[in-house]
Amino acid sequence: MFPFSSIKEYQEALLSAKVTCVDAVAYYAAAIERKQHLNAYLEVYVADAMAQAALIDTKIAQKQPLGKLFGVIVGLKDVICYKNHVVSAASKILDRFTSIYNATAVEKLLTEDAIIIGRHNCDEFAMGSSNENSAFGAVKNALDETKVPGGSSGGSAVAVQAHLCMVALGSDTGGSVRQPADFCGVVGLKPTYGRISRYGLIAYASSFDQIGIFANNVTDAALVLEVIAGADNFDSTVSTKEVPSYSTLLATNKKFKFAYFKEALDHNGLDTEIAATIKKHIAHLQAQGHTVEPINFDMLNYVVPTYYILTTAEASSNLSRFDGVKFGYRAPLKPSDDLTELYKKTRSEGFGKEVQRRILLGTFVLSSGYFDAYFTKAQQVRRLLCNTTTDIFAQYDGIILPTVPTTAFTIGEKSDNQIEMFLADIYTVFANLVGIPAISIPLFKHSNGMPFGLQLMANHFEEVALQQMAATMLPS
Ligand code: GLN
């Protein structure tokens, strides 16, 4: 029975009393226990999940109205607040900090009768591409345990990959859902900036952050999206646009018009087998009647620096609240220590190396004297990228890109090479810089045995088209 191949199939089994939600929680709790060494979960809420499961089983038995996600076992990246549960951003500085409210996305999941099974390991404050920056240890890729799962939502990707939950919520500031989805062979969706409320998502870079979804197929991702998207009084950046019922709008015979970036497929950092496979896939799409055309994108080499200047600037401001006074960890002090010492010691001990590096870099690019050279310049590049995006979508429905230049690398392989680690984001950060939706779908397998995905992007709020394109290539 478990794991079911889709939410629909599972819910049909629940309705015909072949399984119960309590069975589901028992199955997933046991699976998580068996795969503990992958380090995907920081905490499992067996008792809470069992209680919720029993409630939903009663509703089913009594034929009461059910929410869209009834019985669905969901995991949360450890940056999403779940009331009365710890949320730590995989950081020592928030160790054992308990959330006093639900993120809007979580509230919506619960309203639709989902069951939250636990919180997932990730890179500290969602900063990283390999999940090696967690204060609670690296996560292992279930397909090859010597390999990273990607990051920063590595635990969530592995949880879906290894069937330790049915779907997971992550966050994607520069690729943190799509990149681990690519490395783990699952679907990873980052919606349009403003599609899902960020209320209750611990901020990394507020003008980039977006909650994203991991699933085993496009329909499951679409179903979760239609539940958690939509207006919210607690987030002024979220759109009031109506939320389509995405999961019912996937089927189409439409022939799409795709663009791909010549510079992206010819990039010298791109694995040659990945490049060749995607080119073959493009030819296949053309043979099916879709239009796929190369376009020039001469700004490719600027997207990573622009992303890192702007996100570190925003992070330096967002993370200033973790000072040893308001939240979580406080360093032990000597009686002679003053307030400045409290800040310094707490932040030096509480934040890991990568987070400290980014706070320092962000503070630097915002400092007077350097502000115009770095921050303003990067904002100007961001504006140019937005203009280019408008031009592209005036002519095309979608953009095709690789998700990541390589397949999952070995744990430890890149930890000393920050530049190489940053370049892993070259194909994903564009969507966050301009705010468009993007999805990574697990289409391919490399001769080295690891999976890799194809990335699709669509215009702002065109998630229906995006998911239709994805479903055309990866039928559920
Ligand atoms: N790898 C990127 C970074 O390190 C993406 C992070 C994210 O999307 N949260 O910033």
> What's the pLDDT score for residue 417?
83
Among 406, 419, 425, 429, name the best residue to mutate to test ligand 1's pocket (greatest count of ligand atoms within 8 A of Cβ): 425
The model's confidence at residue 418, banded by pLDDT at 50, 70 and 90, is confident
- Is the pLDDT assigned to residue 475 strictly greater than 80? no
> What's the pLDDT score for residue 424?
86
Buried b (16+ CB within 10 A) or exposed e, 33-48: eebeebbbbbbbbbeb
How many A from CA of 179 to the centre of ligand 1? 9
pTM flag (> 0.95):
yes
Active-site annotation, residues? 77, 152, 176
* Atom 4 (ligand 1) nearest CA: 128
> What's the pLDDT score for residue 119?
98
Instruction: Report the range of poorest mean pLDDT among 173-182, 321-330, 425-434.
Output: 321-330
Among 91, 129, 153, name the best residue to mutate to test ligand 1's pocket (greatest count of ligand atoms within 8 A of Cβ): 129
Domain 7-248 architecture: Alpha-Beta Complex (3.90)
Digit-coded pLDDT (tens) for 377-404: 999 999 999 999 999 999 999 999 999 9
How many A from CA of 151 to the centre of ligand 1? 7
CA 448 to the chain's CA centroid: 25
Please state the atom number of ligand 1 nearest to the C-alpha of residue 129: 1
Picking from 278, 279, 285, 282, the residue whose alpha carbon sits closest to that of residue 254 is 285
How many A from CA of 127 to the centre of ligand 1? 5
Ligand 1 proximal residues by C-beta, below 6 Å: 126-129, 152, 171-176, 204, 311, 425
Please state the atom number of ligand 1 nearest to the C-alpha of residue 425: 1
Please state the atom number of ligand 1 nearest to the C-alpha of residue 204: 9
The model's confidence at residue 476, banded by pLDDT at 50, 70 and 90, is confident
Digit-coded pLDDT (tens) for 136-163: 999 999 999 999 999 999 999 999 999 9
How many A from CA of 79 to the centre of ligand 1? 13
For the chain, the average pLDDT equals 97
Average pLDDT over residues 76-86: 98
* Atom 10 (ligand 1) nearest CA: 127
> What's the pLDDT score for residue 422?
84
The model's confidence at residue 95, banded by pLDDT at 50, 70 and 90, is confident
- Is the pLDDT assigned to residue 133 strictly greater than 80? yes
CA pair distance 423, 304, nearest whole angstrom: 7
How many A from CA of 108 to the centre of ligand 1? 25
> Residues 123, 238: contact at Cβ < 8 Å?
no
> What's the pLDDT score for residue 295?
97
> Residues 318, 290: contact at Cβ < 8 Å?
no
Please state the atom number of ligand 1 nearest to the C-alpha of residue 354: 4
Strand partners, 458: 398
Digit-coded pLDDT (tens) for 363-383: 999 999 999 999 999 999 999
* Atom 5 (ligand 1) nearest CA: 174
Please state the atom number of ligand 1 nearest to the C-alpha of residue 432: 8
Among 130, 131, 153, 176, name the best residue to mutate to test ligand 1's pocket (greatest count of ligand atoms within 8 A of Cβ): 176
How many A from CA of 184 to the centre of ligand 1? 16
> Residues 218, 476: contact at Cβ < 8 Å?
yes
